[in-house]
């Protein structure tokens, strides 16, 4: 299993490192338009060709990967913190707060979340700047994606609450703060980290779905999802193999992250 994880992390690094370095180089400007080369294939000047506006696909891929890889973990942090507050805390306290939190989590999980994302994202102002639209899109993902981690964290914190070491600590008169910091937090930490790593590829995919529907990151800023919008034209798809590069990068990145941080292994 360790070999698979190393292999997956190597694949992820092969995507992350060039994307990070490339996006910092001034020659890879994602919005620069080359009016003499519109919708061209791969060439020495544009390694992955250009899009319908003459923008370099490789530059957009570098920046899009960086945007997705920066904001998806940020959204994952947000949802894990919400899950901690809504799931783990009531799970540890128990009683009415736990029952209420359970109902809230059930409600959140009963709503098909792509519908919810669609509704909320569509209600945002029309004049958002691209950077703000990117941040808002991923914030919505984080704000609405806490249901599954909250359920898992609640179950884990309930286990901890009922465990013998916590009972012993309570019986020995350990203060609430010490109980939380010395006994609960270390036992909850691994689950929190696992939920974070599980959420990152999920959010990259969710943003891709939203962008494909025209409700993700606004133009001209690229994200891995918005780059897939080029695939919307069937004629474009049938024309050039370079149109698939963003999809291949997305699959490799999401696949390697899922493989590297497989839930059954980290939980």
Partner 1 sequence: MTCWREILTRLLMAAVTVIVGVFFSAVLVRYAPGFGTDERQLDARLSGESIEAIRREMAGEQNVAAYFVDAVQKLKQGDLGTSRAFHRPVRDLLTERGWVTIHLLGAGLGVAWAAAILVVMASWLSGSAALARTSSLGSGMLLCLPAGAIALLLIVADGPACLALALVVYPKIYRYLTNLVVSAGRTPHVLAARAKGISNARLLAWHVVPAIRREVVALTGVSLGMALSAAIPVEAFCGIPGIGQLAWQAALARDVPVLTMVSLVVIASTVLANSGADLLADQSRHAT
Interacting residues with partner 1 (CB under 8 A)? 106-107, 110-116, 118-126, 201, 205, 208-209, 212-215, 225, 228, 231-232, 234, 237-238, 247, 250-251, 254-255, 258-259
**Closest to partner 1 by CB, 24 or 107:** 107
Least Å distance between CB 23 and partner 1?
22
**Closest to partner 1 by CB, 42 or 124:** 124
Angle (CA) 263-62-126 rounded to 5° is 90
Least Å distance between CB 147 and partner 1?
12
Least Å distance between CB 56 and partner 1?
22
Least Å distance between CB 5 and partner 1?
14
DSSP bridge pairs for 33: 55
From CA 42, how far away is CA 220, in angstroms rounded?
21
**Closest to partner 1 by CB, 115 or 177:** 115
Least Å distance between CB 116 and partner 1?
7
Return left, alpha or beta for 214; rule: phi > 0 is left, psi -120 to 50 is alpha, else beta.
Answer: left
Number of alpha carbons in the 13 Å side-chain half-sphere of residue 88: 21
Contact (Cβ atoms closer than 8 angstroms) between residue 263 and residue 9: no
**Closest to partner 1 by CB, 87 or 225:** 225
DSSP state of 32: -
Number of alpha carbons in the 13 Å side-chain half-sphere of residue 243: 17
From CA 253, how far away is CA 11, in angstroms rounded?
7
DSSP state of 182: I
**Closest to partner 1 by CB, 166 or 250:** 250
**Closest to partner 1 by CB, 45 or 106:** 106
**Closest to partner 1 by CB, 35 or 238:** 238
Shortest CA distance to 50 belongs to which of 59, 58, 35, 40?
40
| Strand boundaries in 98-232, DSSP class E | none
SS (H, E, C) 39-87: CCCCCCCCCCCECCCCEEHHHHHHHHHHHHHHHHHHHHHHHHHHHHHHH
């Amino acid at each position: 299993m360790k070999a698979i994880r190393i292999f997956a992390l190597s694949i992820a690094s092969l995507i992350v490192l060039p994307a990070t370095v490339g996006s910092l180089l001034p020659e890879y400007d994602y919005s620069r338009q080359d009016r003499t080369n519109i919708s061209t294939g791969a060439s020495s000047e544009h390694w992955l060709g250009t899009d319908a506006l003459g923008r370099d696909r490789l530059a957009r891929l570098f920046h899009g990967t960086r945007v997705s890889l920066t904001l998806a973990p940020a959204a994952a942090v947000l949802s894990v913190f919400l899950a901690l507050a809504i799931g783990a805390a009531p799970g540890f306290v128990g009683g009415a707060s736990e029952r209420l939190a359970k109902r809230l989590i059930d409600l959140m999980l009963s709503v098909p979340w792509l519908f919810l994302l669609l509704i909320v994202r569509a209600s945002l102002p029309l004049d958002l700047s691209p950077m703000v639209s990117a941040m808002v899109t991923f914030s919505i993902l984080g704000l609405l994606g806490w249901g599954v981690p909250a359920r898992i964290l609640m179950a884990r914190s309930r286990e901890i609450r009922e465990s013998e070491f916590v009972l012993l600590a309570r019986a020995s008169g350990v203060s609430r703060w010490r109980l939380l910091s010395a006994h609960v937090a270390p036992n909850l930490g691994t689950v929190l980290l696992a939920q974070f790593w599980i959420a990152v590829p999920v959010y990259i995919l969710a943003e891709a779905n939203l962008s494909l529907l025209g409700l993700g990151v606004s133009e001209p800023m690229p994200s891995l999802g918005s780059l897939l919008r080029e695939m919307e034209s069937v004629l474009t798809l049938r024309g050039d193999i370079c149109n698939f590069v963003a999809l291949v990068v997305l699959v490799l990145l999401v696949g390697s992250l899922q493989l590297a941080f497989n839930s059954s292994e980290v939980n």
